[in-house]
Chain A
């Protein structure tokens, strides 16, 4: 990743090389396909979805999916207690499931990386102070505290996105600091310092390239965590609120009909599971691809980065 490309042709060849590596690896291919499916579902939801996700049809309440007796092709995955089309709701739900992690991880990534750069580069007391705060935040009771904050402040898209980003920025700060510290000890950085390169130049030219791949991998991995947390919080009634649609919210609605209409929980939950699995696989593959030492353990990657939470 540290090679400096000399022109658009070698750049293109490098991209082609990455593409070939993805296609050859079934787990990476699955991850990429899931992500592509999610992104296109989110972008073109109104076109792809057969019906309006909020259109009620009381004559067609609690219809089973197509494979069950009484199911029809009109509502492939059945309808809920208000006659809304489950498939259309799942397709529209991708929008929340992708925008929440996009916003949260971007906020957390930018802030956490900046804090980590500051700690790692300044060192000394600044570093000790910042890392003390980071360590303290790691000991916070994650999901429970998020629930409390959302209950008091009131759940909405933005409060949810901010609360979720507050829970993960430390992961980025800690990783950035570690990377900066080890990069600073590298001989080429010492050499640059000796010949009098400015701190900004050292930062951008010699240290930043070492951060890109691991931080991107971390961002992908954290996106999977954020999707799970958003779903859990929406399920508990403290995340996305109607009339917006979210997979976790739909599972919560279907919970009352768990005995009579299990498809109301099965399919939205399956959507969450496939999305998270795909992103986890992609994160795992990215980590291996960016680090040759990891190649021997290729399948182990997705989950052993310590994270601030689970949920």
Chain B
């Protein structure tokens, strides 16, 4: 039985196919204004028996393909637990939202926090800021690592922060330093969210933003434990597919329960 997890995110569509509890195929595609069409293109390339959808577009998938759905929160919990069995907290920074999820000792969600309506401090925020500073998103984190720490960005609103960035540039500030300050602002905000759910170690850092080396460094700096030789923040090999993986595992579980 091949079970497909489909995660329709605001920026990226992710697919993970599993068979007998093991991932056998993953795929990512950029999302557009027409999510269902993009999903259909992805599905042509994959042979599956059942599917379960998650992500902000899960409702669309349910209508179009008549498949069950689960929220990103539960999907991330299951996916992270599969990859890092000892995981107790998850930080997911995706395209348009940030989530902090606390798991109990058997891996069940017991508390979560999520940013509300605006995309402040998310992947989208980084994209807009990278553009304002003339960077490709892939090189943005690396550039920030080259900067130094003498300035601070206080706005987390994308519109206000862009204004702040432009006035810093006008003052002749080096763009690496501005990039660094932007990263630090997001990391600080994310840590505050993690603290609200309790902050138990280890933390799995997932979502597209987990690919950013400067974000990883700041989180490790702010969350690192001096009293433990184990890592505090674990980034899975492909941090973007955790939700799709969780959905696939859940699809397989549901089949087993029915059988």
**A and B part of one assembly:** no
